[in-house]
Structures are given as structure tokens and as C-alpha cells.
Structure 1
Amino acid sequence: MAAWHHEHDDGRGYHAGCFNGRIEAPRLAGCALEGEAIALAQADPRAGAVRDAIIGAWDFSQDISGERMVDISGNGHDGEVLHMPQRGVRGAAWSGREMCWRHAPDEYGAIHFHDDNVYDAGWDESHAWTVPDGTGSALYALHVTVGDAEEFVPFAVVPPRGQRTADICFLLPTATYMAYANSGRHFRNDSVEMKQFRCTQMALSDCFLQTHSEYGLSTYDTHSDGSGVSVSSRLRPVLNLRPRGRVWGLVADTHITSWLEHAGHSFDVVTDEELHAEGVEVLDGYRVLVTGTHPEYHTTEMLDGLDAWLQRGGRMIYSGANGFYWRIAYHAEKPGVIECRKTEGGTRSWVSEVGESFMSFSGEYGGLWRRAGRAPQEMVGIGFTAQGFDRSTYYRRTDESNDPRAAFIFEGIDDEVIGDFGLVGGGAAGLELDRADVALGTPHHALVVARSEDHSDGMMVVLEELTSNQPVMADDHPKVHADMTFFELEGGGAVFSTGSIAFGGSLPVKGYNNHVARLMSNVVVRFLDPEPFEGFDASRPATQAIA
């Protein structure tokens, strides 16, 4: 309907002449209609005067969360949408009285088609490998070579369903990987060098994707017609999801997994998709959960699972920043695809259209979890506060680091300055930062044991912290810093949060023999200890650092 279907010589299909724009209430007749008959076919395709002429009449306001195009002509010619065009968007009947398609589906009878949507590349299988029984849960990569060229295709082996093979779970942020899949923000973004306070660095994948948009876009891109990309899939080559290249996402997370392996901390890998599908049950039995450097995107089911696990006495190490930020939805029927509506507030590459803030996959309001009443401070003590991409700095220990409750964190560490080294910008505090804020949900009894300092003017306060335009200089702005925090939970569990995406990049320095690696090992060892934490006190006044 929005493209021409063709077939290659081998029978594989492809599409051409793709339409960009919205289509609503299409009608197909077996003969030419004129005048009043056209209007009648549009208003009531089953009316007696036109019924026999109508072959199909599709109502896109039905089954918005699914793949079906419902034929209301009575002829049973239902269709199927391909490559996830955007549904739950305004139609010609939109009145502005309702902002949610669930409340007025008749006003959301359009589908927005794009010529650069890609859900499933549909490539023929060229290689298959069955994971042998007993293969350890970990991150792996398939090494592919063709002549002098090589490629690494990463994948995770998770434990058998209902089993665990270690006391530590590393939660692989695959939803966030999908949101950034084939991101072109380094070469499609206006004034990127001004925003990053440095020259642009182009990876090989950037150079390739600059001329090959057929591999699909990320939620940080816009379609060829200028509208935002709200759907992203992993069922296509994802060239920036590789163990080599820019230190972001998977590459940055390998700093943590390699440190866990080097330190002898056995762990299982669980992905976001398992957490979404199975909830708290997939985490049952783990004593410690370690996040990646940037667990940004979560569904309701994922947060519910994490919250329930923590309330059962779980101990979480939040190893990054800008986590638990955007609300997303997985498709209920199609695997490997997420939806994210970039609504009001937040750091975004585009903004959802008016009246289109509710996701078609789930019917939920999209945007920041903070706007949905679940700010990350409530679960992990800190939340997104600033970002800058020129250089990283360090933390300085606070007086609260000497609190007996936090003594285990700094055991064997005499340094006051923490992380003044690292593989990501030269320090442990950089790229994106989180801070504590009681007003947003940081527990009153949380300890801020270290705080970053000496950031450049390129480290800017995030939009949701501002109510109007104002000059923001990092060296004196009270919200430009990372807070390293610790607090206990009522059920005997605890949360330790680092507050910086760059933090993991300090772990491998000097062959993992440094005080950042020592600090993290201290936390892991204590969190593995079954002795309950007993510092929880909901009545305690807020500590000085976060009051």
C-alpha cells in the first residue's frame, strides 16, 4: 500500500517506491467511483450503494498495538504492516481533546510510513551454531573473516531458564543497545563539535553508515522526512554493537565484565529481554546485580522486576549514569524491537509530535521515567544531572565516606581523590553524570561517599533540571557533579551507585591494580556476604550532602 513489492530472481522480496507520510482510511474499489459514491465509500463502505463495488476498506484505528490492518468492508481482506511503521498517530479527525489514542482511537486512524524503516533485514541464514550444554554464561563473539576483512558479532549466553550458575548477575543493557543501534548522531547531528567541546571522532561504522542508511536508524536519528525514529530493532546488522570501536555501550560495558573476570568474581549474564519477559523470577537467587555503564532504557516490567528483587533483599551495584531514564515498550508479538516516544523533557534528538506521546506497542505514556513518577533516585539513589564529552575528571571523598556504615567501601584505600585516571576521557567521572536529590526520591539515609569536581564548561546541566534558558557554567553550578552513593534497604539489601558512565573505564588501568578496582571489589565482596545490612532507617533526616 505504501510501497511496490518486487522479487529478486531467487524469490526473495523487496520493496521500492516507498511512500513517506501518513495514510488513513484507504478504500479499494473494483470500479471507478464518482462524486457522492466516493464520499459514501469513505463514510460507510458497507452502505448498499457502494458495498458491491468495495473490495477492501481498512480502518487503521483498530489493532493499533498489533500488526493487522483491519478490513471493515466485510470481505475479510485484512492486511499486515511491514517494518514497523508508526501507529498511534493523529489522523484527520484528531480534535485535540484527547492526547491518548486509547481514549479516542477514531482520532488516531493514520499510520505514518517511512522509506527508511527496517524491522527485519530478512537475510538468509549463512551460519548456525548450537550452544553446547554446559557453556558458561558470558559475553561471546562470532569472529568472521573474509580475506583481510574481519567482523565480530557479539552475543550473550544466558543461564538455562530457572537456573543460575553464579551469585552475581550482570544485567546486560540490551534495550539501550537497541535504542542506539546504528546511531548516526556523530555525523547527522547539527553542530556536534560545538556540543561535545571537541573534534568529532568517526569510527569505521560511522563512515559506512553515513552512506548506507538501508541498515536502519536509531532512536537518536530522524527519518528522511524529518520525523523522529521511535522504533528500533536488533533483527538487522547493528554495526555499532561490536567489541571494537567507540568506547560507548557494549565496549564500555566490557570494562566491567573483564574486571569481574580478572578479579575472579564469577557471574551470569542476563539481558534486558529476559528481565522484561520473566520479571523478578529471572533474578531470584542472585545475591548481587551489577549494571552496565549506561542502562538508560527500561520497560515497566523491567523496573517492576528490579524493584521487587531489591525489596526481597537484593544488592545492586549501579555502575554508571543516565540509567533508568527513558520509558520504552517491547512489542507484544514481534521479537527484538522496542518503541520510545521522546515526549516533553529530557535530552533528545527529536520531540514527539503533539498528541503522540503514548506508545503504540503498550498504550503507555512515553518519555522520561521521572515524568511518570518513577525517578531513578527512588531506586538507585541518583539520577541524570549533567553531560559533557570533552574530558573526564575525578571524585573527592566526602566526610560521609568515614561513616562506619561505609567503611567497607574504602577498606585499604587511603586516597582522598578517587579515579583521577581512566580509559574514558582520562578519569572516572565523565560523559554523563548522576547526582542525589531527596526531592526526586533519594532515600534520606543515603550516604554520598564521594563527589566529582573540576568539570569543564562543556559539562552541561540536563534540560529537565532547567525551567528556562540560563547560562550554565560547570565550575560553579551546584548540579554539575557525580555523586557516589550507598544506602541500605529495609529487607537487608543495599544499593551502591557510582554516578558516572566513565567510571568503568578506570577499572582496567594498571592491569586492574588501582584503587577504583579495589573499591569495586570491596563492594562486591560485602554485597556477596549474606549478613543483612541493618542501616535502613526511614525516619533518619537527610544527610548533609543531599539535604
Structure 2
Amino acid sequence: MSRSIPPHRPLAVPGVHGYTGSKTVHAGEPIGIHISSDRPYQLSVCRLGADADSRRDDTVVADLGASPARVQSIHPGSYVHVERGLPAQLPLSGLTLECWVMPWRSTGERQALITQYDAPAHCGFGLFIEADGALALYLGDGGPQSDVGLHVGQGLATRRWQHVAATWDGRSAALWIDGACAGHWPRSGPVCPGAAPLRLGAAGQAHGVDALADVDLALPVIYERALSAAEIAARAAQRALRLPVDPAVRACWPLREGRGDGLADTSGHQRAGRIVNHGTWMVRGPAFDEAVDDAQDAFDPHGQRQGLRLASDDLYDCRWTATHTLTLPADARPGLHVARLRFDWEGQEAVYDITFLVKRPAGARPAPLLVLCAMSSWLAYAATPFARNQVEDPVWPRRSTGLPNSHPQAPAFCSYTYHQAGQPSYFTGLRMPWPNASPAALYDPVGSGFSQWTRLERRLHAWLEREGYEFDLLADLDVHADPDLLASYRTVAVNGHSEYWSTPVVDGFDALLRRGGQALVLSGNTMYLRVSFDDDMRVMEQRKNDERGADPAEAGMRPPAGPFGEEFHSQDWARGGQLRAVGRSAASIIGLETAGWGFADAEDFGVYHVAEPDHPLFNRPYPLGLERGQTFGHAPGGGLPRAIGHEWDLSAATLRRMTRHTPPGATLPEPPSGLSVVAQGIRRVPGALDTYLDWFSRATDSLEGLSAEMIYWERPQGGRVFHAGAVGAAWVVGRDPVFDGLLRNVLHHFGCDPR
């Protein structure tokens, strides 16, 4: 069950949306389906069939019939709830509200910073940022809201840290910004906190929490006295590095936890807080200094990363009730499935698919081959979870910026888009809709028919079934939860766009190879960025950050990122970003490293050119009759689909040739022994959005269109790897007889033959 939250501003998203309670399930086990719909619908559960481009071969495994409309609201917005507020009816003798704040927006709705305030009936005190960006203080008697209780001062700047304070000494009140008075007026008592919860980053309305803030907060403090001007100036000068030592402190939250949803109160008054809707730890605090940042020290008790980021659109768990529960038969065929909803949309029938994976029954004998689904990557691209429904199959825009939103205030961020107020996005929730994982979803370039995620990966599944291979399916999420699962297999296939890997999955995969295992990699941009998960496997974290000293001209070539200094994950305090930067280079494990991407148009995709026609993989047991320079990895006649495009990987030896400058203190890797490049992927069409990367992930020039390498590697440290080096490799499976023949040879070489 999802942990409940206090009453919170509800948001009803129009249309039909849903998710399953888990992304994978064993045959014979139940799975919950969580749906919000403002119209009736028909629901069935289908196993995806052999045709990746249509629904005609999908098999209905359960018909759950008609269901009435049932809208389940979402409750976006993170804040801190403090159960033990100041005594409701006890008049205060004085008051200071103090914190460091970095607002991410200066307009829009009012934002609350520190409040004990429930409008309209229980209004005690509150430090706010008004809709025009001005700092404001409310002082009341704990009863009904009164206009005379609100006092507005000067405006705050956005996207920089400022020390703010509000004081009241029984006769007058004042506001302070960076140690200077920003407003002063007479105000006599009484001031009572009132029967409202104490909150950071929110206030209350009749419907629950509101006035949600888009801010970074550091060291909020409540004193039951008015600090003097000199004391406030001194506090501002300390940059949140010193806790207050004052008997008048009634609550103080240092915000140094760095992880979890609990906040300690150091005042001694037991006002511990709880973060609702996650928030973001490990952000640059007021004292952050790039010049002294220690990139090796993730947990920093001295204040470099002291603070908490709140966002009014934070949401990682819809907390919807399961509208349907289905127990899959114990003999259900494993494979990708969907909960399929059919409903009327603007006078036509629309389809909404919720993708999940059915695995073999728990404890079943493992198959000779394991195929991994790259669900971490599916999650990273899960933009616009509450996308507006449409009749036509979706075409997902470039870089997962998403489809049109069903509601302007519904969350629409992912690993490639920012929060609505501009905060970098580091988290993705697993208990959320992910329409990008629909088997109907396409990707850019427009008109190419290219896809990633479900639609791309199922091509290999369908081909293996058609050819008679016995194989198991697991998600990388399953392996993260239990890396020992890989110990039951000797051959593992990595499929599709397998970009995001957690450290346990990387280490488990490397251990498999060290034991003499084998990897069949039909992916590009493989094993590139690190992710982590919370203990309940409900939230995935990734951290892309701008590099210190990076060329500004290259900024547009990198995905949206946070500022330098926020590269450490809050879930494990370890560095995020590229796996290569944390000692898990893909080239050292699977032989190739990410080397670029291109999104120009349908003609952007290239093909393989044979480099070693005599290599056993081209000849045994099925001779392919290839000659040096002959092309493959394309539809008959050279048309689409073609394998080399979107994103691709190259060997360390080739990346050394493409590296024009080695940064101070860095070294280039030595090419590994035993690695053979059996084919080269060439793209001849220069695209406006092409980027070629060197070993240090800096922009460079291509080597006459060389974009991907297909390798066979017998690793000195153990294990064998076949790596196709391109996202589009899985796209041509079943469409190119030469590639299919090569795949049969590779599987035979790895001891996997059809039944």
C-alpha cells in the first residue's frame, strides 16, 4: 500500500490514464491495475503478438468487461509536514521566522515558506512569497483569516540563494532579505499559532495543502522572540553553516539528512518533519563553492549540499486505488502484456495500453537464454504521464519532450525535461502512468517508423519465438532488486535502447561474464548513465549535471541537466551521471562505449559494412556468403529499417582516434586484447542534430561517418561478448535475412539453439 498523505489539493486529470501496481509479475501471481477514467471503458489483458507494428496478433488472456467512469485525483507538490506544531492557543511573546531560500519562479500562485496557517479558519502565522514575487508575512490570532494580518515587503530574486527573515516583537513587524530590512510596520498582538499543522513549503486551505512552493530551502528556524537587526545580519553572513544557539528556538531543521523523507528538529521540542511527495536532497546549498567542492565526498555534513528542493509538481506515486486485480494463470505464456482500455474519444474508439511484463512462474527452471527488458530506460523517457488521449497511435516527439498534456498543472517532467518551474528533474516514479511504454508509441525521426522501448524490444522477442528459441524475460528492475537472478543463466541478451543501468545490475552483469557467461548486446548507447532506486523500488533516480569547465558551445548537445555539484544521488550518496565516471566503463565490460547520436530525418540511418568476412560468426554453422565491404543491417534493397542511427557505440581504440585533446590529469584507455571488429556501421548523411563524442564525451568529428562498430570479444577477465553497437540493431531483427543469419550463428556459438 502507498503511504497516505495529509489532505492535499486534488487535481482531476481529464481522460483515461492508468498503471499497474508492479512493472513485472510472475505467472500465477496477482497484479493490480490502477485506472482513472472520466468515461466508461472496456478492459482486457493482452499478450503482445508477433507483429510489432499492429495489434492484430495480440492474444486476449483475460476479458474484464465494461467498467464505469471513475476519476481518481492526483495530488502533486512536495512540502514538509510537521505533526507537532506550536501550541495552538498559547499567545506568542515574539516571533522570528528564518530560512535560506532560492525561488525557482517569481510569478504565479502564492508560495509558502514557513507556516502554521489553514485558511480560512485557522490562520496563525506564515512567511510567504506572494504571486508577484514579494516576500510577505502573515500574523494572526489563529482564527479566521484577516486582511490586516498580511504585510508585504520587497521582491525576491529567482534562482539564487537569499537569506530571509520575518520578525515580530509584540509591537512591530519587519521583513529582512540578506540581512537588510525589506519592510517595517506596526503590529500589536495577540499572535497565536492556531489549530493548523506546521509546514515548510506549503500552507493550508479548506481542501487541504495549498500554496505549494517551487524553492530550495536551507536551515529554516522558528524563534519565540524577535532577532535584532545585528543578529539577522550575522545569521545571513553564516551562509547556513551554523545552527542557532538560542533558548528561544522552538524549531530548527538543519536539512542535512541527504536522503529519506524524515527531517530532524534540533530544537529539543520534537518537531520532526516528514517530506510529502519526495522532494530533492543533495542540492547545492547557500555555502556551495565550486572552487572547493570535493567531488569524491558525496555526503557533506559541512553544508556544501545542505538543503532541500521542493517542487509544486513533484509526484512519484499516484496513490490510486486498484480498480481491477487479475491473477494470471500459472501456465500463462511469459512475455510483454498490456492492460488494454477501449473507450470513446471525440466520437471515435480510442485505445490506451498499460504495458507490463509477465515472467515465468517463480521457481521455474531457467531457459538457456535470458533477455533483459531495459525498463530503467523506459522510465527515464516517461514524459507526460497524463498525456491527452488521442485516437491515432502516438508519435513521441524528439528527446521525449512528450505529448500534449491533459491538464496544464499535471506533472510532465522526466529525465529529459524540467519541472514546470525549471528545476532539474532527477526522479521518476514507478507507480505512475507511462504512455511512452505503449507498444504503439513511435519516436523521431518523424516518418521513419523508428521506435524505442516496448515497440523496439518486442521485435527480438517475436523473432526468438518464431525461430523456436527458448528464452526467459526479465526487466533490469528485477535484476536490480535481486542481482543473484543472473547466476541462473549463462547467456544474457541486452536489447533495444539499454541506456540506464544501476550499479547492482552493472556489477551483476560483469560477474556473470567473469564466471564465463556470454552477452548478446543488440543495443546502442548501452550502459551509459547510472540510476538508483529507493528501498521500496517506487522511485528511480538519475543525475545528469553540467560539467565544471565544460565548453558552453556544447551545452545544447547534452540532455537537460542540473548544475555542477548536484551529481550525487540522494538514495545512496554515490555519484551519478555517466557510469564511466564512476569506474563502470561499458567498454571495459561489454567492449564498446557510447559515441554519439543523431535525430535528423528518416535518411539519417546507416548500415553495417562487413569488415571480417571470414570471421566464424559470419560462417558457422550457417555460411552467409559475405564479402568485405558488403552491407547488411537494412531492409531488402537498402531501405528502412536500417540499424545505424539514433544512438551508437564505438570501441576504445576508435574513440582514442577521435579524441583530439586529453584533459589535464586524464588518460586514454588502452584498447583491450581479444576484441575483433567484425563490421562497421557507417552513416553517410550528415544530420543537423548529429553529435559525435570522443572518449571524454566531448564533441568531435566523425571518422568518415563511422558511427558504430559490431564486435566479438573474448574478454581476458572471462566471458564472451557479441555487441552490435547501435540502438537500431533490434529494429532490423526479422527484416534483414543477413542479420537474422548472423544472430542464429551468434546464438549457436553461445550454446543456444532452437528447440
TM-score range (shorter-chain normalised) is: 0.7 to 0.9
Flag the 1:498–1:441 CA change in 2: closer, same or farther, 3 A: farther
Q: Secondary structure at the match of 2:324?
A: coil
Structure 1 CA distance, aligned partners of 2:397 and 2:580? 32
1:251 maps to which of 443, 447, 455: 455
203-212 or 321-330, which moves further after superposition? 203-212
158-167 or 137-146, which moves further after superposition? 158-167
419-428 or 110-119, which moves further after superposition? 419-428
Equivalent in the alignment of 2:574: 364
2:596 maps to which of 386, 398, 407: 386
1:109 has 2:306 as partner: yes
Equivalent in the alignment of 1:141: 338
Q: Which has the larger radius of gyration?
A: 2
Q: Which letter maps to 1:66?
A: G
1:504 has 2:709 as partner: no
Structure 2 CA distance, aligned partners of 1:76 and 1:499? 56
Equivalent in the alignment of 1:544: none
| Shift, 1:372, TM fit | 2.4
Equivalent in the alignment of 1:374: 584
Flag the 1:285–1:204 CA change in 2: closer, same or farther, 3 A: closer
Structure 2 CA distance, aligned partners of 1:168 and 1:403? 23
1:486 maps to which of 686, 700, 712: 712
Tell whether the 8 Å contact from 2:532 to 2:541 is kept in structure 1 after alignment. yes
Equivalent in the alignment of 1:420: 634
442-451 or 319-328, which moves further after superposition? 442-451
209-218 or 105-114, which moves further after superposition? 209-218
1:180 maps to which of 370, 373, 381: 381
1:321 maps to which of 524, 537, 552: 524
Pairwise CA RMSD of aligned residues? 3.3
| Shift, 1:124, TM fit | 2.4
1:90 has 2:284 as partner: yes
Give CA-to-partner distance per residue, 1:35-94, whole Å, 9 cap, x none. 57877898555633x14xx1x221211x21211111112222221212222211122233
Give CA-to-partner distance per residue, 1:125-179, whole Å, 9 cap, x none. 2112223323333211111122323211111123455554411111111111111
Structure 2 CA distance, aligned partners of 1:120 and 1:216? 14
Give CA-to-partner distance per residue, 1:486-507, whole Å, 9 cap, x none. 1224587411111111111112
TM-score of the two chains, using structure 1 as the length reference:
0.82
Equivalent in the alignment of 1:239: 435
1:445 has 2:674 as partner: yes
1:271 has 2:475 as partner: yes
Q: Secondary structure at the match of 2:353?
A: strand
Q: Secondary structure at the match of 1:274?
A: helix
Q: Secondary structure at the match of 1:88?
A: coil
Tell whether the 8 Å contact from 1:215 to 1:236 is kept in structure 2 after alignment. no
Tell whether the 8 Å contact from 1:205 to 1:240 is kept in structure 2 after alignment. no
Q: Secondary structure at the match of 1:240?
A: helix
Flag the 1:205–1:133 CA change in 2: closer, same or farther, 3 A: farther
Flag the 1:452–1:85 CA change in 2: closer, same or farther, 3 A: same
Q: Which letter maps to 2:529?
A: W
Structure 2 CA distance, aligned partners of 1:179 and 1:71? 34
Equivalent in the alignment of 1:526: 749
Structure 1 CA distance, aligned partners of 2:338 and 2:401? 17
Flag the 1:98–1:515 CA change in 2: closer, same or farther, 3 A: same
1:3 has 2:202 as partner: yes
Equivalent in the alignment of 2:370: 169
Structure 2 CA distance, aligned partners of 1:420 and 1:79? 58
| Shift, 1:33, TM fit | 5.9
Give CA-to-partner distance per residue, 1:194-231, whole Å, 9 cap, x none. xxxxx996899943338556144111111233232111
Structure 2 CA distance, aligned partners of 1:216 and 1:205? 9
Equivalent in the alignment of 1:460: 690
477-486 or 287-296, which moves further after superposition? 477-486
Give CA-to-partner distance per residue, 1:3-29, whole Å, 9 cap, x none. 345676xxxx6x532211211111235
Structure 2 CA distance, aligned partners of 1:424 and 1:22? 51
1:220 has 2:432 as partner: no
Structure 2 CA distance, aligned partners of 1:405 and 1:506? 18
1:71 has 2:265 as partner: yes
Tell whether the 8 Å contact from 1:177 to 1:241 is kept in structure 2 after alignment. yes
Structure 1 CA distance, aligned partners of 2:418 and 2:673? 41
Tell whether the 8 Å contact from 1:253 to 1:293 is kept in structure 2 after alignment. yes
Q: Secondary structure at the match of 2:323?
A: coil
Flag the 1:105–1:328 CA change in 2: closer, same or farther, 3 A: farther
Flag the 1:379–1:204 CA change in 2: closer, same or farther, 3 A: closer
Identity across the alignment (%): 23
Structure 1 CA distance, aligned partners of 2:382 and 2:464? 26
2:325 maps to which of 121, 124, 128: 128
Q: Secondary structure at the match of 1:298?
A: strand
Flag the 1:377–1:242 CA change in 2: closer, same or farther, 3 A: same
Consecutive unaligned residues in structure 1, runs of 5 or more:
185-198, 531-547
Q: Which letter maps to 1:378?
A: S
Q: How many residues align?
A: 498
Tell whether the 8 Å contact from 1:434 to 1:499 is kept in structure 2 after alignment. yes
1:516 maps to which of 722, 736, 739: 739
Equivalent in the alignment of 1:154: 355
Q: Which letter maps to 1:402?
A: D
Structure 2 CA distance, aligned partners of 1:492 and 1:325? 22
Tell whether the 8 Å contact from 1:435 to 1:479 is kept in structure 2 after alignment. no
Q: Secondary structure at the match of 1:355?
A: coil
Consecutive unaligned residues in structure 2, runs of 5 or more:
1-199, 386-394, 443-450, 657-668
TM-score of the two chains, using structure 2 as the length reference:
0.60
Tell whether the 8 Å contact from 1:164 to 1:285 is kept in structure 2 after alignment. no
Tell whether the 8 Å contact from 2:334 to 2:358 is kept in structure 1 after alignment. yes
Tell whether the 8 Å contact from 2:684 to 2:705 is kept in structure 1 after alignment. no
Q: Secondary structure at the match of 2:260?
A: coil
Q: Which letter maps to 1:320?
A: S
Equivalent in the alignment of 2:215: 21
Structure 1 CA distance, aligned partners of 2:651 and 2:635? 23
2:645 maps to which of 427, 430, 437: 430
Structure 1 CA distance, aligned partners of 2:401 and 2:582? 35
Tell whether the 8 Å contact from 1:182 to 1:209 is kept in structure 2 after alignment. no
1:408 has 2:620 as partner: yes
Structure 1 CA distance, aligned partners of 2:325 and 2:697? 53
1:308 has 2:511 as partner: yes
Structure 2 CA distance, aligned partners of 1:360 and 1:503? 35
Structure 1 CA distance, aligned partners of 2:276 and 2:518? 42
